[in-house]
Amino acid sequence: MDRQQIEEMIDIAVRQLDFSYTPYSGFKVGAALMTKQGKIYGGCNIENAAYGPTNCAERTAFFKAVSEGVREFRAICIVGGKDGVLTDYAAPCGVCRQVMMEFCDPETFQVILATGKDHYDVFTLKELLPLGFGPANLD
Whether residue 127 lies in the annotated active site: no
Contact between 79 and 29 (Cβ < 8 Å): yes
7 known member of a binding site:
no
Active-site residue identified among 58, 68, 72, 107: 58
Q: Which helix (H) or strand (E) holds 93?
A: none
32 known member of a binding site:
no
d(C-alpha 93, C-alpha 44), whole Å: 14
45 known member of a binding site:
yes
Closest C-alpha among 54, 50, 53 to residue 27: 54
46 known member of a binding site:
yes
d(C-alpha 70, C-alpha 20), whole Å: 23
21 known member of a binding site:
no
51 known member of a binding site:
yes
Query: Residues marked as binding for substrate?
Result: 45-51
- Residues serving a catalytic function are 58
Binding residues: 45-51, 56, 93, 96
Positions at the binding site for Zn(2+): 56, 93, 96
